[in-house]
Structures are given as structure tokens and as C-alpha cells.
Amino acid sequence: MGLERWIGQWPVYRQLTGPDRLGRGKAAESPRSAALGPRTDRADRVADSVCPYCAVGCAQRVYAKDDRVIQIEGNPDSPISRGRLCPKGETN
């Protein structure tokens, strides 16, 4: 591996020399992180639900794969919670 290529792999070098000056995009990306994707992409079913923890009743989307829940997120279609869940609702 050449020195220039080796230095080019440093995120701070890419941040200082590339267009991603804040280091929030491509400059901070590694081969491993570039291959990552949201786990909701792996879901084979999505069910609408309601958080059971309090009386607010925030709407949820429950993502499942092979009949197992893999992720719960807020439902942006809900006029009550508009896609948001509190920490309690996020972890149930």
C-alpha cells in the first residue's frame, strides 16, 4: 500500500481535503460503515401498532423478520406523535 493511499484512508485527511468539511458523510465512511444499512431494510413484514406504555398512544411501526420483531419506530403518518417516540416507547 502506497503512502498516499494509506494517508487517504484517514477520515480526517478526507475531511480536510474533500467536500465533506464537517465529516458527517463520505469523509467519515469506512468500507465497513459503507456496507451497513438500516435493519428495517431486512424486515419482511411491517405492522402498525400503538405504544402500550402510557395514555398518549403514540403510533408505531413494528418491523419483523422471520416472525421476530427486529425494530420498532414511530409512525410518521400519526397526527399524534408524527413519527416520534419517547425513549420508553423506543425500547419496548
3-state class (DSSP) for residue 32 = helix
- For residue 91, the minimal CB distance to ligand SF4 (Å) is 10
Minimum distance of ligand SF4 from residue 33's CB (angstroms): 29
Cross-strand partners of 45: 64
- Closest approach, Cβ 37 to ligand SF4, in A, equals 25
Residues in touch with ligand SF4 (CB under 6 A): 51, 53-54, 56-58, 81, 85-86, 88-89
Q: Residue with CB nearest ligand SF4? A: 89
Distance CA 30, CA 86 (A): 31
* Identity of the residue, 25 or 57, whose beta carbon is nearer to ligand SF4 in the bound complex: 57
Q: H or E stretch including 13?
A: helix 11-17
Which cell goes with 17?
481535503
